[in-house]
Amino acid sequence: MNILFAASEALPYVASGGLADVAGSLPSAIVKKGHDCRVVIPLYKSISAEMRASLTFLTNITVDVSWRKQYCGIFTGIYKGVTYYFIDNEYYFGRDGIYGFYDDCERFVFYSRAVLEMIRCIDFKPDIIHANDWQAAMIPVYYQIFY
């Protein structure tokens, strides 16, 4: 089974709490059970230079956010047998910290749309999209409406 695990944070890349623990460990356990489980998170500024250096640029796309289109870079990396994808946009994710900004709603609307648009550009078609916490909550809604 192909599973895309969408979360706003995942160890070892970036963490603020328990979600990062789960997003960093559950996909690895699923992969060990024989499934292809991949993770997609934002490419935050706070991801270390060492971890960023291990990433590969795949492509860039544009993502609709209300009345405008926004740049979205897509990067990938592998950590402990799990493939990670990273959604890049300096305006939304090139900040100190990962939450607590006046436009968090817009940032994660962008992320949700970007995750679904990214699927068209990668060599992976998920059977399940596992959306975690409020930051990824619009993914199933957008999937139902637009995809």
Q: Looking at domain 2-146, which of 3.40.50.2000, 3.40.1280.10, 3.30.420.40, 3.30.470.20 is its CATH number?
A: 3.40.50.2000
Domain ranges (residues) in the chain: 2-146
**pLDDT for residue 8:** 98
**pLDDT for residue 147:** 86
DSSP 14: B
Residue 12 preceded by cis peptide, ω within 30: yes
pTM: 0.96
Give the C-alpha separation, 3 to 94, whole Å: 27
Q: What is the pLDDT of residues 37-68, one digit of tens each?
A: 999 999 999 999 999 999 999 999 999 998 99
Q: Phi, psi at residue 93, to the nearest 5°?
A: -120, 0
Q: What is the pLDDT of residues 86-109, one digit of tens each?
A: 999 999 999 999 999 999 999 999
